[in-house]
Amino acid sequence: FQAACTEHVFDVLHTHFGVNLECFASPLNSRYARYCSAFPDTDACFGSLGSFFNFYPTAGSFQANPPFEPALMLAMVQHMERLFSNNADNNDGPLSFIVVVPGWKECEAFQLLQSSAYLQTAVPIAQSDHGF
């Protein structure tokens, strides 16, 4: 399963963080004109840039709300770590991801996110305090 962010959340991310691309979306649920999706062959004509795992930004701010599947979330975090490392090595512009995942403390992806040298802020939201 996957959580959906409201339009208000996307507006705040865009206004305050400069987010204008979703890393996991589809033509049916994308908020921004450009996004990454699981099916680039059919989604490209609707604005998809292809798979997040083939996306290599050197700067920018992005929203990542993957399907809540542990192996996929782990692959996402590992890809982000490589992107951050390359960014630091090349002195590229600012790069950030706002990540929406469940607080599954036993999940390797969650643990890797929490221990990342690139983590700036984590904002846990109690299950009873959000509308997913």
Using one digit for the tens of pLDDT, what is the confidence trace for 63-98? 999 999 999 999 999 999 999 999 988 878 899 999
Instruction: State the pLDDT at residue 1.
Output: 60
**Among 39, 26, 105, which residue's Cα sits nearest to residue 65?**
26
pTM, two decimals, is 0.90
Instruction: State the pLDDT at residue 113.
Output: 95
- How far apart are alpha carbons 61 and 92 in whole angstroms? 13
Instruction: State the pLDDT at residue 130.
Output: 64
Model confidence pLDDT, tens digit, residues 4-57: 777 888 889 999 999 999 999 999 989 999 999 999 999 999 999 999 999 999
Q: Are 43 and 49 in contact (CB under 8 A)?
A: no
List all residues 6 or more positions away from 132 whose beta carbon is below 8 Å from its beta carbon: 3, 4
Who wins on pLDDT, 124 or 130? Answer: 124
The residue-averaged pLDDT of 114-130 equals 84
